[in-house]
Amino acid sequence: MKRALTLAVVLVLGLLLLANAFAGGQGDAGKKSLKIGKIPITMQANYHQAHVKHLIAYAKEKYNADVTVIDGEFSTEASVKGVETFIAQGVNGILLHSLDEKVNDQMVKAARKAKIPIVTFYIPTFSRLVPHLQINEAETSFQMGKVAALKWREWYPNKPIKIGVIDYLTVEIVQKHRTGPFIAGVLSVDPTAQVVSKLEGSANVQKAMAAMQDMLQAHPEVNLVYGANADHALGALAALENAGRGKAVNGKCLTEIVIGTDATEGELAKLYNPSSSFKITQGLQPRVNAIAEMDLLYNCITGAQNPDAWIQIDTFNKFISYWDTPIEEAQKFIEDQYFTKLDLKSAASK
C-alpha cells in the first residue's frame, strides 16, 4: 500500500512538471513573457525602422519577449524620458541607443538602481559601465575612401581631390568610425587630397540637401562627397542633381563621386544606376545588429553575462560599390536586412 502511494505521488508530480513545462508556451524565456524596452536614437531613418522590426520579431520568436519602443527622437531628453518610463513600467531589460555618452551613464545608473539590466548600442556609456554592442565601421569606411580616391585618380589624374562631407559634426563616434576613417582612406591614396568643407546634415534629407547647396556655393570644386548616413548622402545627391551635377556615363562619374552609409533602398537604386554619380556605400545590417543586441541583453537578464561589467561586442558593415559588388548580391542584402520588395535592377534603370 505504501509503495503504491509513493508511485502515485511521483506520477502526480511528474504530470505537474509536464504541465508547467507547457504552460509558458514556446521560447527560451520560460513560463512568463519578458518585457523589453527599446530606445532607438531616431525612428526617422530606414535603418532604425528595420532594426526595430527585426528586434520585435526575433525577441518574440527566440525568447518569448515583448518589445516596446520609445523613439529617442535624436534627443537625449527624449531618451532620458524613455528610460524613466521603462523603469516605471518595471521592464525586464532596456536596449539603449542615445547620443551622449555621459548622459548614457546617468540613464544606466538609474536603471541599475531599479535592478533592470541595460545594454547600449553604437554609442556606449562614458564610464564603460555596461555591456555594449558596437558596429565597427572603421574598416569599411576606410575602404570606401580608398576606392573613391583610386577611381578619381584613375579617371582624372590631373584634378586634385577635394573632399566635402555632410556629417553629424557633434557625434564623436561617427567621426571615429565613419568620417575619420573615410578621410584616412582617401589620404592613403592621395596625401595631397583636401577636406574643403564639413557641414551638419542633422537627421533628415532636407537639411542635408540644404547643407550641400551651401557647400556648392562656397566650394564648387568639391569632387568626393561623403554622406555620414543615407539621408546625408541622398540629400547631397539631390542638391547636386538640382545643380546639373550628380551624373555619370556608364558608371564613370563626371563631376564628383558620391559616397554614402547605410545601403538603404534609396541609396542602392542610385548606386546601381550607371547614370548617377552615387557609387559607393557601406551596408549597415539591422537584422544582424538586432539579433546581437537582443542576445546580449538576454544574457544579462539571465546572468550568463554580468550586466554591470563592460564588454564590447562588435558587428561589421558590408562594403558595396558599383564596380565591386554584383547587383544580385546587393539585392539579397536589402531583402535580408531591410524587408524590401524593391527590384534593384528595375529601380536602377529608371
In degrees, to the nearest 5, what angle opens at C-alpha 112 toward C-alphas 106 and 116?
A: 125
Handedness of CA 329, 333, 335, 341 (dihedral sign): negative
Q: What is the mean pLDDT of residues 244-265?
A: 97
pLDDT of 45 reads: 87
Report pLDDT digits (tens) over 85-115. Answer: 999 999 999 999 999 999 999 999 999 999 9
Residue 309 DSSP SS3: coil
Report pLDDT digits (tens) over 193-208. Answer: 999 999 999 878 999 9
For the chain, what percent of residues have pLDDT higher than 70?
Answer: 91
Nearest residue to 236 (alpha-carbon basis) of 190, 202, 201: 201
Report pLDDT digits (tens) over 128-150. Answer: 999 999 999 999 999 999 999 99
| Those residues with Cβ within 8 angstroms of residue 146's Cβ, 6 or more apart along the chain or in another chain | 185, 186, 188, 189
d(CA 30, CA 28): 6
Helices (H), 156-261: 172-174, 180-189, 205-218, 230-242
pTM: predicted TM-score of the whole model, two decimal places:
0.86
Does 33-135+286-316 match 138-284+318-348 in CATH topology?
yes
For the chain, the structural domain boundaries read 33-135+286-316, 138-284+318-348
Q: How confident is the model at residue 31 (pLDDT cuts 50, 70, 90)?
A: low
Q: What is 33-135+286-316's CATH number?
A: 3.40.50.2300
Q: What is the mean pLDDT of residues 328-347?
A: 95
- Out of 3.20.20.220, 3.40.50.2300, 3.40.1550.10, 3.40.640.10, the CATH code matching 138-284+318-348 is 3.40.50.2300
d(CA 118, CA 101): 14
